[in-house]
Structure 1
Amino acid sequence: MRTLDIIALILVVIGALNWGLIGFFRYDLIASLFGTMSSFTRILYALVGLGGLYALSFFGKETESRHTKEV
């Protein structure tokens, strides 16, 4: 995997864990660690969002790799 893919995957996992905590326990880990909507928290949320958007490209890579194996 490329370095950017790994970083995006880590950000997506962080976001998923945080949303899981919010959904199950009403506990926002990111906000409790770095403050509610502080500058750093907003940057972190934005990076998680960008990582999620980039991770959408993983679906295209999986489809592409399946087509090359079938040929």
Structure 2
Amino acid sequence: MFIARLLVIIGALNWGLIGLFGFDLVAFLFGGQMSLISRLVYTLVGVAGVVLIGDLVGNQQRA
């Protein structure tokens, strides 16, 4: 879960930068939005979000 949370934090910070400044840090660091590494990072952030949704739903059902 630590890695999923870390990836979601990275994604949230990147979206914050996009919203505030129009600056995509992931694309800047890895050669544009369509570069293989950028797309991999975006995909991993999305998967991490789905994992954390599943964790949240699972925790709510136990409570």
- Name the counterpart of 2:10: 14
Q: How does 1:1-71 map to 2 (within 5 A)?
A: 5-36=1-32, 37-63=34-60, 64=62, 67=63
Deviation at 1:42, TM superposition (A): 0.6
Identity %: 48
Q: C-alpha offsets along residues 3-57 of structure 1, whole Å, 9 cap, x if unaligned?
A: xx11110010000000000000100000000011211111111000100111102
**Which has the larger Rg?**
1
Letter paired with 1:20: G
Gaps of at least 5 residues in structure 2 are: none
User: TM-score, normalised on structure 2?
Assistant: 0.88
Structure 1 vs Structure 2 CA RMSD: 1.0
Letter paired with 1:24: L
How many residues get paired?
61
Extract structure 1 runs of 4+ deviating beyond 6 A.
none
Gaps of at least 5 residues in structure 1 are: none
